[in-house]
Amino acid sequence: MKNPLNRSLWREFKQNLARYLSISIVLIVMISAVSGFLTVVYSVKDLLYKNQDECNVEDGQFAVTQTLNKDTKDKIEDLDLNLYENFYSEQDLSDDTMIRIYKNREKVDIATVYEGILPKNKHEIALDRLFAEKNDYKVGETIHLNGEDIKIVGFIAVPDYTSLIEKNNDLMMDAIHFGVAIVDNKTFDEFAEKNITYNYSYVLDKKDASDKENYDKLNDIRDICLENGYMLTNMMTSDMNQTISFLPNDMGGDIPMIKALLYIILVILAFIFVVISETIIDEESTVIGTLLASGYTKNELIRHYMVLPIIITIVSCIIGNIVGYLVFPPYFKDMYYGSYCLPPLKVQFIPEAFITTTIIPLVFMLVINYLMLRHKLNISPIRFLRRDTHKNRIKQHIKLKHGSFFRRFQIRVILQNKGSYFTLFIGILFASFILMFGIVMGPCIDNYLQNSEDSIKADYQYVLKQPVDIKNAEDAEKLTITSLETYYKAGDLDLDVSFYGLDNDSKYYDDISLPSKDDEITISYDFAQKMGLKKGDKITFTNPYTEKDYKFKVYDIYDYKAGFSAYMTQKNLNDMIDQDKNYYNAYLSDKKLDIKDEYIQSKLTRNDVVKIGEQVTSSFGQMIPIMTTVSIIIYLVVMYILTKLVMDRNATNMSFLKVMGYDDKEISKLYLKASAIVVVISLIICAPFSYYLMDVLFKFAFMRFTSYIEMYMPYYLHIVVFVVGLLVYSLVNFILNRSIKKVDLGESLKESE
């Protein structure tokens, strides 16, 4: 026989329609956004690794001044690898735009067609898709290269250029002024007559080779080339090659932030569901007491009151996932395809995304509601019949002698509904927190960029491939720089840390305190905050190419906020990397130095640091509108639902006041202004709590981010949160004023108390 309690579900739904629909809308919006984002991110990630595998992306490359003879090639291939010619020619498309042109590669770094076809005839070319879009080229158009008109026949993506970085020592992608292209063999031979680079790529036989094994192979290749009289102009593994490694290293950094936002909202919605269920139980306490006295078990009632929340959650999750798969992917896809060069994306069903946006919310709501209902229904039937549903509640009458009647009545309303108002306070805390999460991202990013710029010690930093003496460079300061990795457990990733070997009298780092002991280091502020380190702590670093470990004690924390770095005396760092005391491989200078490009491994300028910060935070910047919109919606929903619950619990008292002759305006003054007092006090008290919670959340949200973004909230934003809270309550107040007008005079006759 069907459970007769199910007949009341539709009635309960209609009575709480506004509440349930509000919750459902928030859940749908959030799940659809998160589902769309995670679907795209995981699909892009799968596409990237699948494309690299199917298109046989290289494990490394090197360039020489002339082609290798067969004997040298055979010696290199005896190293358990396959060697491929991967020559290219660089051609100027305009004064500030250059294209790197390859033959159509069929065995390594194979191109994927994005639109059109690959070139088959002379004077045909296929351009990288991102470069073509940035420069507004279309398939079928003609460009002028090397004195010839070349027809664009297609757009492509190649696995060795997912990031368009012209020189590996460049710190920024530039898809406007640098592109990659494919031509047929005859056209390439024409280009090669004027400009060609003899570049060779290799693929190891061992597919899961470590960075050290790959690096050792590259060094073996170098030795063979030198032994046979070949001069190398470039050599690097795929991990060292930014055009290949930049995107894989960058992917997934914003996933924890989005998941954190989802989980916070789930907590808020579960809290609202609990409050609604408690209100319904209070309203139907006599019915529940009768049912328990008639033989219904507590578990049967728990299942009954869990039905609506679970149905609403399931329906919202289903609708949210449908919208997430159909509506949001194009928006999030543009975030990646506007910066990186990838083959066509087919959005797939991602089990991990489905678990995050459907299974977890459902289980979360199920557990929270079950625990609440079990606790709430764990009282005797007689107490339900007496409407005494609050455990251990002792009613105390407080005498109020001072103030006007309206003021005393408002205080009495607050005291009588202190439980409801405490619930409202918790709701405002959650809502303020989520609102703060939405509006604080912009200032945090701006603060990150400003800190990065302010922390720059010199206008130019050069890292050299080998020591180079510079004449007439009095402003330049020599130093030693190397890079090591350390494991960051919270984010499950390896962080690159730059080690600086400085002179004790460094004029650029004149405010730093360097340790004298060789097993101690000074670390940057950002690195200390990211790792949770303080003075005296010990930390282990690893050289990924030698797999050698180094253990250090934190001597001091230096106020540097432009990256992860560690500092030693130059002598100690040189000893650590087995170099003599006079060794150096870098310069700091406030003026541009005259160093030939072939000696420069990387160059960092003040403008580069600012651009890096902008690039690092660009993806988060695109998420700000979504987070802000969602936070305001949730704020409105929470304020409306919880404030209306207070009004609903006092509907009988309002009815009595109407019978006694009070008009709607006076009743509004008595009840809504009492709520307004609670809202104002709550907004003030919640500000510091919300800020503390936000600081904790930031560490979690950016734990897979390879930089440190500090929680920063200007004072004016605290005012914004307060003002927005008042504005939202004003809107809610307007809606509730209309509800007061609908309070039935006969409501008071239903109660015997």
Most confident of 30-34, 46-50, 728-732: 46-50
Please provide residue 605's backbone torsions phi and psi, each rounded to the nearest 5 degrees.
Answer: -115, 170
DSSP state of 197: B
The verdict on 494 and 586 lying in the same domain is yes
The alpha-helical segments, DSSP class H, found in 62-210 are: 70-77, 129-134, 185-192
Encoded tokens for 753: 């108390």
pLDDT band at 390 (very low <50, low <70, confident <90, very high): low
Give the Cα separation of 359 and 729 in Å (integer): 34
Q: Which pLDDT value is given to residue 410?
A: 66
Position 426 pLDDT exceeds 70: yes
Residue with tokens 């460094």: 506
Whole-model pTM? 0.73
The verdict on 379 and 481 lying in the same domain is no
DSSP string, 70-91: HHHHHHHHTTTEEEEE--EEEE
The answer to whether the CB of 736 falls within 8 A of the CB of 649 is no
pLDDT band at 82 (very low <50, low <70, confident <90, very high): very high
The verdict on 380 and 501 lying in the same domain is no
pLDDT band at 86 (very low <50, low <70, confident <90, very high): very high
Report the chain's terminal Cα–Cα distance, integer Å: 37
- Mean of the pLDDT values across residues 716-742? 76
pLDDT band at 615 (very low <50, low <70, confident <90, very high): low
Calculate the alpha carbon distances from 478 to 275, 582, 605, 720 in Å.
Answer: 66, 10, 16, 49
Per-chain mean pLDDT for the chain: 81
The answer to whether the CB of 562 falls within 8 A of the CB of 455 is yes
Q: Which of 40-49, 469-478, 642-651 has the lowest mean pLDDT?
A: 642-651
83 pairs with which residues across the strands?
202
**363 found inside a domain:** yes
Residue with tokens 């019915």: 287
Encode pLDDT of 120-139 as tens digits. 888 899 999 999 998 899 99
Which has more pLDDT, 417 or 579?
A: 579
Encode pLDDT of 173-189 as tens digits. 778 888 999 999 888 98
Position 296 pLDDT exceeds 50: yes
Name the nearest CA neighbour of 426 among 277, 302, 274, 305. 274
The verdict on 254 and 381 lying in the same domain is yes
**208 found inside a domain:** no
Q: Which pLDDT value is given to residue 298?
A: 83
Q: Which pLDDT value is given to residue 74?
A: 92
**334 found inside a domain:** yes
**659 found inside a domain:** no
Position 613 pLDDT exceeds 80: no
Position 98 pLDDT exceeds 80: yes
- Mean of the pLDDT values across residues 416-431? 75
The verdict on 388 and 520 lying in the same domain is no
Please provide residue 93's backbone torsions phi and psi, each rounded to the nearest 5 degrees.
Answer: -90, -30
The answer to whether the CB of 519 falls within 8 A of the CB of 504 is no
CATH number at residue 528: 2.40.40
Encode pLDDT of 440-453 as tens digits. 877 887 787 777 77
543 pairs with which residues across the strands?
548
- Mean of the pLDDT values across residues 3-31? 78
Q: Which amino acid is at 215?
A: Y
Q: Which of 124-128, 169-173, 301-305, 612-616 has the lowest mean pLDDT?
A: 612-616
Non-local CB neighbours of 361 within 8 Å, separated by 6+ positions: 27, 31, 262, 266, 313, 317
Geometric angle at alpha carbon 677, from 434 and 394, rounded to 5°:
95
For residue 723, how many other CB atoms are within 10 A of its CB? 11
Non-local CB neighbours of 148 within 8 Å, separated by 6+ positions: 123, 190
Non-local CB neighbours of 490 within 8 Å, separated by 6+ positions: 699, 703
**579 found inside a domain:** yes
The verdict on 383 and 270 lying in the same domain is yes
Q: Which pLDDT value is given to residue 603?
A: 78
Give the Cα separation of 456 and 560 in Å (integer): 8
**71 found inside a domain:** no
Please provide residue 563's backbone torsions phi and psi, each rounded to the nearest 5 degrees.
Answer: 145, -175
Q: Which of 302-316, 536-550, 649-663, 699-713 has the lowest mean pLDDT?
A: 649-663
Which has more pLDDT, 707 or 116?
A: 116
Name the nearest CA neighbour of 316 among 69, 573, 25, 64. 25
The verdict on 389 and 475 lying in the same domain is no
Count of structural domains within the chain: 2
DSSP state of 167: S
CA atoms within 13 A on the CB side of 649: 27
Looking at the chain, the number of H-run helices and the number of E-run strands are 23, 20
Position 55 pLDDT exceeds 50: yes
Encode pLDDT of 635-646 as tens digits. 777 777 777 776
Region for residue 252 given its phi and psi (left: phi exceeds 0; alpha: psi -120 to 50; beta: otherwise):
left
Q: Which of 394, 419, 454 is the last residue of a domain?
A: 394
Report which secondary-structure segment, H or E, holds 182: strand 178-183
The alpha-helical segments, DSSP class H, found in 513-605 are: 525-531, 570-576
pLDDT band at 676 (very low <50, low <70, confident <90, very high): confident
Position 750 pLDDT exceeds 70: no
Please provide residue 112's backbone torsions phi and psi, each rounded to the nearest 5 degrees.
Answer: -110, 130
**410 found inside a domain:** no
Domain coverage including residue 523: 469-594
Q: Which of 370, 394, 418 is the last residue of a domain?
A: 394
The verdict on 485 and 579 lying in the same domain is yes
Encode pLDDT of 219-265 as tens digits. 999 999 989 988 888 888 998 888 888 888 777 666 777 777 778 77
| 477: Cα separation from own chain's centroid | 38
**29 found inside a domain:** yes
Q: Which of 376, 394, 412 is the last residue of a domain?
A: 394
pLDDT band at 1 (very low <50, low <70, confident <90, very high): very low
The verdict on 257 and 373 lying in the same domain is yes
pLDDT band at 752 (very low <50, low <70, confident <90, very high): very low
Q: Which of 155-164, 297-306, 334-343, 430-439 has the lowest mean pLDDT?
A: 430-439
Encode pLDDT of 645-661 as tens digits. 766 666 666 666 666 76
Give the Cα separation of 369 and 304 in Å (integer): 11
